[in-house]
Structures are given as structure tokens and as C-alpha cells.
Amino acid sequence: MEQKQAPDFNRVRVAGRLENMCQRWTPDGSLALTADLFTTRPKLGPARDEVQEEQPMPLRSNGDIAQTLLALEGQNVMIDGCLRRRFYSKDNNPCWGQVEIWVDACRVLT
């Protein structure tokens, strides 16, 4: 009997517009990038003037994919990656931060 590979459940695919690029160099000399992927918010009820129609999804990447994303700022793209929740310490107490999409692949949408 052929053994099946376990499914990878932590996978996301999201389309939107790349904005707010912020790059830095890691201690090992590789490029790291944070950005926002602006997606359309779903309509959940009666339209209101004060409701924003787009929402930013935080992205993180490093290495070659970071270089690719830098060249695509302002463009509509399809992002593949996984979700990862960052955490930090404040006054020596662990705190949960935001959930980010760690980008594995990106392609331009036409």
C-alpha cells in the first residue's frame, strides 16, 4: 500500500494590492521585508459611509521572495504562504502580536 503524505493545513492564498514596503537586513546579511496586502473587505450588512472597503493583511518575507515583492509594490498580486502569529515580551510578560502571512510565492495578476 502506498503511503500518503500528510496534508499541509497551514496554507493561505490571498489576492490584493501590495503597499507599505519596509525592508531591513538581518544579521546574516539577507534581506527581510514587511508589507501590507490590501484586500477587499466582505460586505456583511447595510453599507455605511464610515466603513472602509479595503483591509490590510500583514506580510513577511525574506531572501529571494523579498526581492521579488520589492519590485511589485503597488501591483495586484496573488500571494501563497502560511500563517504565523508573532509574539513579543513587554515588561517580561509574553504577549501575542498580530497574525502575519509568511510569503512563499507571489505572482502578478493581470
Owning domain of residue 88: 13-40+55-108
- In this prediction, residue 101 carries a pLDDT of 96
Q: Which residue has the higher pLDDT, 110 or 13?
A: 13
- Give the pLDDT confidence of 54-101 residue by residue, as tens digits: 899 999 999 899 999 999 999 999 999 999 988 877 888 887 788 999
Considering just the CA atoms, what is the radius of gyration of the chain in Å? 17
Domain presence at residue 28: yes
Structural domain count, the chain: 1
List Cα–Cα distances, 104 to 12, 27, 48, 80, 82, in angstroms.
10, 21, 36, 6, 8
Residue type, 46: P
From CA 100, how far away is CA 107, in angstroms rounded? Answer: 19
* Average pLDDT of every residue of the chain: 87
- Give the pLDDT confidence of 25-50 residue by residue, as tens digits: 888 888 899 999 999 987 777 766 56
- Are 33 and 22 within 8 A, CB to CB? yes
Domain presence at residue 45: no
Domain presence at residue 6: no
- Tell me the CATH number at 17: 2.40.50.140
